[in-house]
Amino acid sequence: MIDGRVIRAVDCNADTFRRSLSRIRDTALQAEIRDALRLLLLTDLDAPARVLHLHQLKNREVPSVLRAGHKVNPWTIHVTRNDAYKASFTLENGTAYLRICDEHDIVDKRP
């Protein structure tokens, strides 16, 4: 059984996420991003892999996937070793709902 603050599922189905990922054409970069996203599954929020640089953006709010009309603080991870790219997601009921994958500064401005 998975207890505590653990990411139990990763949902990559948001149109915004799929579009942002499809704009990244470099196959080596795509592979590195996929590897980082795999690490996200079963991540303990209190002890995440350092390579992810996982953190919650407490100064930002985005729409909740599960609760219409509600806003939640998004989370971000670094998806490349050189920290050039990040991905953002909301964490709701143990599922990471991926929102966008893009250059570091773009994700910081519009998670």
pLDDT tens, position by position, 76-103? 999 999 999 999 999 999 999 999 999 9
Domain 9-109 has CATH 3.30.2310.20: yes
Cα 57 to Cα 61: distance, rounded to the nearest angstrom: 8
Please choose, from the candidates 107, 50, 109, the residue with its C-alpha nearest in 3D space to the C-alpha of residue 76.
107
Q: Band the pLDDT of 2: cuts 50, 70, 90.
A: low
Domain segments of the chain as ranges: 9-109
Reported pTM? 0.93
pLDDT of residue 92: 95
**In the chain, pLDDT over 90 holds for what percent of residues?**
95
Pairing of strands 9-11, 95-103: parallel
H-type alpha helices, 1-111: 15-22, 27-40, 104-109
DSSP tag of 6 = B
pLDDT of residue 28: 95
